[in-house]
């Protein structure tokens, strides 16, 4: 007969795991963003007129892929470091990463991006159907990001440690 000697009494939510996932997501997103910028600038000479034609769709695909990779990486490790509920840790990591990213892009630190966004917004006001499509794609991206985060957080979760002692006094530690 096995008896549970000690069950981990750690808190259900590990904010350290969530913040580790957020930090990792932001760093991976930054690295992939810089890599994408370097490749685009290398392929499309900014000094030659018309050399960047046709890079728009590839840039969009790179943004989607790099965002998905960053969210997956951060959520996986948030779930990995979690004591309980790895999927929830992954989802919260994604939520905080999303909020921080929005804050960065809308704050005064994102002034350069703000100028570009205001120019893009003026263009979108001239084409309301584009604004509609942008809103639907944003909603879709957020939902897909939440699913990726929850799945990767669940995949990263290892289980809770349980310590068993049998009748002979032997101790065994397992993950539940």
Q: Which of 4-18, 31-45, 85-99 has the lowest mean pLDDT?
A: 4-18
DSSP 95-164: HHHHHHHHHHHHSGGGHHHHHHHHHHHHHHHH-HHHHHHHHHHHHHHHHHHHHHHHHHHHHH----EEEE
Return all residues near 51 (Cβ < 8 A) that are at least 6 apart: 44, 45
For the record, the structure tokens of 86 come out as 């790895």
Whether 24 has a pLDDT exceeding 90, the answer reads yes
- pLDDT average, residue stretch 8-22: 81
**Residue holding tokens 């590990």?**
14
Per-residue pLDDT tens over the stretch 45-87: 666 666 656 666 777 778 888 889 999 999 999 999 888 888 9
Nearest to 95 by CA among 113, 78, 115: 78
- Domain borders along the chain are 3-175
Residue 3: strand pairing partners: 165
What's the rounded Cα separation, in Å, for the pair 104 and 106?
Answer: 6
Strands 171-175 and 161-165: antiparallel
pLDDT of residue 10: 58
DSSP helix/strand/coil, 66: helix
Whether 6 has a pLDDT exceeding 60, the answer reads no
pLDDT of residue 50: 63
Tell me which range, 16-25, 83-92, 111-120, 126-135, is most confidently predicted by mean pLDDT. Answer: 16-25
pLDDT of residue 117: 60
pLDDT of residue 45: 67
What's the rounded Cα separation, in Å, for the pair 153 and 93?
Answer: 9
Q: Which of 75-79, 86-90, 171-175 has the lowest mean pLDDT?
A: 171-175
């Amino acid at each position: 007969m096995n008896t549970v000697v000690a069950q981990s009494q750690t808190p259900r939510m590990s904010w350290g795991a969530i913040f580790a996932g957020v930090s990792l997501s932001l760093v991976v997103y930054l690295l992939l963003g810089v890599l994408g910028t370097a490749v685009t600038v290398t392929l499309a000479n900014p000094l030659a007129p018309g050399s960047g034609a046709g890079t728009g769709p590839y840039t969009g695909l790179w943004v989607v892929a790099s965002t998905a990779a960053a969210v997956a990486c951060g959520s996986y490790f948030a779930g990995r470091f979690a004591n309980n509920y790895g999927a929830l840790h992954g989802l919260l990591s994604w939520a905080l990463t999303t909020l921080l990213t929005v804050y960065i892009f809308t704050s005064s630190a994102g002034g350069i991006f703000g100028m570009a966004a205001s120019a893009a917004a003026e263009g979108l006001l001239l084409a309301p159907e584009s604004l509609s499509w942008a809103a639907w794609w944003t909603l879709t991206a957020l939902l897909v990001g939440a699913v990726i985060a929850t799945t990767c957080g669940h995949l990263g979760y290892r289980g809770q440690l349980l310590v068993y002692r049998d009748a002979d006094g032997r101790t065994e530690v397992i993950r539940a």
